[in-house]
Amino acid sequence: DAGVIQSPRHEVTEMGQEVTLRCKPISGHNSLFWYRQTMMRGLELLIYFNNNVPIDDSGMPEDRFSAKMPNASFSTLKIQPSEPRDSAVYFCATSRGGTDTQYFGPGTRLTVL
Amino acid sequence: DQQVKQNSPSLSVQEGRISILNCDYTNSMFDYFLWYKKYPAEGPTFLISISSIKDKNEDGRFTVFLNKSAKHLSLHIVPSQPGDSAVYFCAASYYSNYQLIWGAGTKLIIKP
């Protein structure tokens, strides 16, 4: 069984550019989480979807960040415009239900110059 | 305010010996605790969990102990193997809540 798939694995962009991160959840998993990991703040939950519906987006830093889940097989996290302080590793994780074990993708390392 | 704390950024242990990783929490409402393991350039991987109704859970070489009165849990790895070298994260949640509160992680280095 394929695990959580994230793309790209690495992204280097310039300040002001739009960045789109992608996630394909494990088949049959109904919950999807986007996390950000930085040295200063550790792992932070950005947004949580259940059955494709955003349930909690209180962790999204500001309006520059948006996330969508158009269907059960795909989610995106978009940053527009990007800033150097957005540089981090972004993880997507999925689970069968909201309280079940979360399985993480390999992450996308974003560098904004 | 950090609700889940891993006070040791790193720990070095001889291969074959016991590794003990510690985690403290401040919120007495937490009733479910997890340990995840993370290798470089990979996402965290679930290792073991414990509910607050237990004080110990064992899975092979890994045992998690929970001391509710001290708000403290620990992960024991016996015997330690080179493949155990990784960053270990402690996380906590309310049993009926999806949100995990994460510690900062402890880097475990197993010396041959």
Q: Which stretches does DSSP call E strand in chain A?
A: 5-7, 10-13, 19-24, 31-38, 42-50, 53-56, 65-71, 74-79, 88-95, 103-104, 108-112
**What is the reported pLDDT for B83?**
96
The DSSP H or E segment spanning A27 is none
Task: Please tell me if residue A4 touches chain B, with a CB cutoff of 8 Å.
Answer: yes
Mean pLDDT of B39-65: 96
Mean pLDDT of A82-87: 96
Task: Please tell me if residue B98 touches chain A, with a CB cutoff of 8 Å.
Answer: yes
User: Is the pLDDT score of A100 beyond 90?
Assistant: no
Phi, psi of B111 (to 5 degrees): -90, 135
**What is the reported pLDDT for B104?**
93
Interchain contact, A99 vs B42, CB within 8 Å: no
- Among A56, A99, A104, select the one facing B44 at the smallest CB separation: A104
- Under DSSP, the state recorded for A25 is P
Mean pLDDT of A73-102: 94
Interface A-B, measured as beta-carbon pairs within 8 A, has a size of 46
**What is the reported pLDDT for B99?**
87
- Mutating which of A35, A39, A43, A91 best tests the B interface, going by the most B Cβ atoms within 10 A? A43
User: Is the pLDDT score of B91 beyond 70?
Assistant: yes
User: Between B50 and B98, whose confidence is greater?
Assistant: B50
Phi, psi of A90 (to 5 degrees): -110, 125
Residue-wise pLDDT tens digits, A8-67: 999 999 999 999 999 999 999 999 999 999 988 889 999 999 999 999 999 998 899 999
**Whole-number Å distance between alpha carbons of A32 and A76:** 11
Is residue B21 within 8 A of residue B75, CB to CB? The reply is: yes
Mean pLDDT of B72-79: 98
Question: How would you class B90 by CB atoms within 10 Å of its CB: exposed for 0-12, middle for 13-18, buried for 19 or more?
Answer: buried
**What is the reported pLDDT for B1?**
66
Measured between its terminal Cα atoms, the distance across chain B in Å is 38
* Nearest by Cα to A34 from A16, A15, A54: A54
Residue A58: which residues within 8 A CB-CB, separation 6 or more? none
Q: What is the mean pLDDT of chain B?
A: 94
* Nearest by Cα to A10 from A109, A105, A113, A104: A109
